[in-house]
Amino acid sequence: MSTQDEIPQTLTTMEAGFTLVPGTEDEFWAEQERIGPVVASQPGFAAVIGGPIHNSEWLYFCGKFDTPSLMDQWYHRP
């Protein structure tokens, strides 16, 4: 495949679905407000989508990153 036929790199996506331990909802959302700006400032972090899944107790998270390598660095950073 020649260079002109290569598919350009698009954003890398990390997705998760999860539920909360009953009674921890307020604590969870407060932590999200606190940590959101820290997470978003990390190198390679492009966007986040998430929230409650309609008619469900589940929540959805989708993080977008510039590259797979930067996603891995974000994920493994303390």
Q: Which domains, from first to last, does the chain contain? A: 12-76 (3.30.70.100)
Q: Are 65 and 22 in contact (CB under 8 A)?
A: no
What pLDDT does residue 75 have?
A: 83
- Rounded-to-integer distance, Cα 63 and Cα 47, Å: 6
The answer to whether 62 and 49 are in contact (CB under 8 A) is yes
Closest by CA to 59, choosing from 12, 13, 11, 21, is: 21
Look up the pTM and report it: 0.67
Across 66-78, average pLDDT = 86
pLDDT given at position 4: 66
What is the token pair recorded at 22? 């009953």
Q: How far apart are CA 40 and CA 2, in angstroms?
A: 36
What single-letter DSSP state applies at residue 28? H
